[in-house]
Amino acid sequence: METKIDYKNIYYPPGGILIWVLIMLELITFGVALIALTVSSRENPDAYHQSRLMLNTTFGAINTVFLLTGGYFMAQAVHNVKDKLLDKAGKNTLMAILSGLLFLSLKGFEYYEKIEHGLTLGYNTFFNFYWLLTGFHVIHVIVGLVILGFMYRSMTKKDANPNILNVEAGAHFWHMVDLIWLLLFPILYLVL
């Protein structure tokens, strides 16, 4: 028996109210950190600008494409589950997982380069913010990939019948990861 959810009720948004509370808390946390970064950059704008120039903008842009592509595939997976096209939903979820793994691979390579050049925590305030913000984001990507892995399993197992509320909640978490990167990338890589 399938439960009918009234999405017009504010207490029952797609994915459930708890995922939206979590998303708001995460966005506030990253927002406060980005505001602190921006305020801190006003104290020594030249040092921040020179530090920003040490980041690889191409890697940041490619990672943006990876995450947005994953977000597209997750949105398709949600529609597929709603339409009971679980084979397509599984394939789209797998593509989202692949995009997240590509993001982590490139970010890992970027981290390796920074470490090789001595641009680690403690190098300067800009790189302290860089490592903390991007590191916290990487943790979110990993958590998102674990969630997507469970979703994929629920879509592809024998007699699969994934709960749409869980699928939407997982997709919203993944979109939050995208949104956070869309805030981090321009501020860290382009603006300062």
Residues with Cβ within 8 Å of 21's Cβ and at least 6 positions away in sequence, in order, are none
Q: What is the number of domains present in the chain? A: 1
Between CA 47 and CA 115 the distance in angstroms is 19
Is 7 part of any domain? Answer: no
Is 6 part of any domain? Answer: no
Mean pLDDT over residues 137-142, rounded?
Answer: 96
The string of pLDDT tens digits covering residues 160-183 is 788 888 888 899 999 999 999 999
| Token pair in block for residue 111 | 């981290």
The string of pLDDT tens digits covering residues 84-104 is 999 999 999 999 999 999 999
What are the distances in angstroms from CA 184 to CA 124, 133, 177? 18, 8, 11
Is 168 part of any domain? Answer: yes
Is 3 part of any domain? Answer: no
Nearest Cα to 76, choosing from 95, 94, 89, 86? 89
Range of the domain at 58: 17-191
Is 185 part of any domain? Answer: yes
Domain at 104, CATH number: 1.20.120.80
Nearest Cα to 85, choosing from 2, 162, 168? 162
Q: Does the pLDDT at position 159 exceed 70?
A: yes
Is 117 part of any domain? Answer: yes
